[in-house]
């Protein structure tokens, strides 16, 4: 046994940690956080270097590298339109990635793994705020049920491996996230980066109006990805239970309120036009994150602050 093998996660700064999906929104924030904390042995592979849907490649990677910890933030991810348009990819790719990584991690002696799901695992009409025990109590939101089913399978796989093998696999369920390195694709992204880009481009081109999808009435809870990364590290250090853990901000806004706020932060002064032919998705999904709060973690970046920070990043990195 290496000297540090029984050290707690926070003390184990030279432990080999595989952050899967390290160039994405979430993975890059986790890498920033771990590096800031002094972790100095991060194991990182781009999609091109290691396709996590390929079982034999994933098995070889784990067998060669033997990471001590795994944070699984690689997935096929997208907004309401992408989920609705590519259901086969959303279910198949996510099942493949998570099954390969979780199983190989267990078989190769990984000490602890954290799997990331999403608030869309809960029933469309779950009582609000949504507690962890609402899982599997009702039908899912149809626009993202394929992705949700894969994520539910990931939670269940972590639970099954804990129950049968006494293996320390945990799951975090983040709410809607945003921040640096988000996907700003005009159609396939989530609402916040989509609107930021659309308002920015309208400001630059002098357009008089911007199109926003749906009715504007759905409620969403947003969390800055740096808060999520902080929660992920907190869970790695402080939680080893069977139940998945909600990770939210506890604050919700309507899509109309969000659009007005993004518009203000970007500095676009035109009109909003609502495209009601586009789906609203689930009417409301505010999570109850009191279980995590009771362990001692709370978020600290407000939506306004987070939007200002993200727009600054957008201007420095992605300006058209």
Ligand X SMILES: C[C@H]1O[C@H](OP(=O)(O)OP(=O)(O)OC[C@H]2O[C@@H](n3cnc4c(=O)[nH]c(N)nc43)[C@H](O)[C@@H]2O)[C@@H](O)[C@@H](O)C1=O
Q: List contacts with ligand X (CB under 6 A).
A: 79-81, 83, 118, 120, 144, 147, 176, 189-191, 194-195, 212-214, 218, 220, 255, 278-281
Pick one of ligand X, ligand NDP, none as the site partner of residue 23 (Cβ within 5 to 8 A by kind). ligand NDP
CA distances from 90 to 74, 93, 196, 219, 252 (A): 12, 6, 25, 23, 26
Helix, coil or strand: residue 299: coil
Residue with the closest Cβ to ligand NDP? 24
Question: What is the binding site for ligand NDP (CB under 6 A)?
Answer: 21, 23-27, 47, 51-53, 73-77, 97, 116, 118, 174, 176-177, 183, 190
The DSSP output letter for 287 is: B
In the complex, least distance from residue 218 CB atom to ligand NDP, rounded to whole angstroms: 15
Question: 27 touches which of ligand X, ligand NDP, none (CB within 5 to 8 A by kind)?
Answer: ligand NDP
**Active-site residue among 69, 147, 178, 314?**
147
CB of 95 vs ligand X, minimal distance in Å: 15
Examine residue 129 and say whether the peptide bond preceding it is cis (omega within 30 degrees of 0). Answer: yes
Toward ligand X, which CB reaches closer, 167 or 268? 268
Choice between 86 and 270, CB closer to ligand NDP: 86
Tell the smallest beta-carbon distance from residue 290 to ligand X (Å): 21
Q: Considering CB distances under 5 to 8 angstroms, the limit depending on partner class, which of ligand X, ligand NDP, none binds residue 47?
A: ligand NDP
Cβ proximity of 180 and 28 under 8 Å: yes
Closest CA to 313 of 188, 181, 189, 123: 181
Burial tier of 13 (Cβ tally within 10 Å: 0-12, 13-18, 19+): middle
Choose the contact partner of 210 out of ligand NDP, ligand X, none; CB within 5 to 8 A by kind.
none
Token pair of 46, please?
Answer: 């781009």
Query: How many contiguous H segments (helices) and E segments (strands) does the chain have?
Result: 10, 11
- Is 147 part of the annotated catalytic residue set? yes
Q: In the complex, what is the shortest distance from the CB of residue 207 to ligand NDP, in angstroms, rounded to a whole number?
A: 27
The residue among 223, 245, 225, 249 whose CA lies nearest residue 236 is 245
Could you tell me the two tokens for 284? 């409301």
The interface partner of residue 301, options being ligand NDP, ligand X, none and the CB cut-off 5 to 8 Å by kind, is none
Nearer to ligand X, 15 or 196 (CB): 196
**Which residues are bridge partners to 273 per DSSP?**
211
Nearer to ligand NDP, 177 or 202 (CB): 177
Shorter beta-carbon distance to ligand X: residue 98 or 104: 98
Q: Quick check: 280 and 241 in contact, CB under 8 A?
A: no
Q: Which two tokens stand for residue 40?
A: 């100095």
Residues that are catalytic: 147
């Amino acid at each position: 046994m290496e000297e540090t093998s029984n050290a707690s996660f926070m003390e184990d700064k030279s432990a080999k940690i595989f952050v899967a999906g390290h160039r994405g929104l979430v993975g890059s924030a986790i890498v920033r956080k771990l590096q800031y904390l002094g972790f100095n042995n991060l194991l990182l592979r781009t999609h091109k270097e290691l396709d996590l849907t390929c079982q034999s490649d994933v098995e070889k990677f784990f067998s060669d590298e033997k990471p001590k910890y795994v944070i699984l933030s690689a997935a096929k991810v997208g907004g309401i339109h992408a989920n609705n348009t590519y259901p086969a990819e959303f279910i198949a790719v996510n099942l493949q990635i998570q099954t390969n990584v979780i199983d190989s991690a267990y078989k190769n002696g990984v000490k602890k793994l954290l799997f990331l799901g999403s608030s869309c695992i809960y029933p469309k009409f779950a009582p609000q705020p949504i507690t962890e025990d609402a899982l599997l109590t009702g039908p899912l939101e149809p626009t993202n049920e394929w992705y949700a089913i894969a994520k539910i399978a990931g939670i269940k796989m972590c639970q099954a491996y804990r129950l049968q093998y006494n293996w320390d696999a945990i799951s975090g369920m983040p709410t809607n996230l945003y921040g640096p390195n988000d996907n700003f694709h005009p159609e396939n992204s989530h609402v916040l980066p989509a609107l930021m880009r659309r308002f920015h481009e309208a400001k630059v081109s002098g357009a008089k109006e911007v199109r926003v999808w749906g009715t504007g009435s759905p409620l969403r809870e947003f969390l800055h990805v740096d808060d999520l990364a902080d929660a992920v590290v907190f869970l790695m250090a402080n939680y080893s239970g069977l139940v998945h853990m909600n990770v939210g901000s506890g604050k919700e806004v309507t899509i109309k309120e969000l659009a007005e706020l993004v518009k203000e932060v970007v500095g676009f002064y035109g009109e909003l036009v609502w495209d009601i032919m586009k789906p609203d998705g689930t009417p409301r999904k505010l999570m109850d994150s009191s279980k995590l709060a009771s362990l001692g973690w709370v978020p600290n970046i407000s939506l306004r602050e987070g939007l200002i920070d993200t727009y600054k990043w957008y201007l420095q990195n992605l300006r058209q």
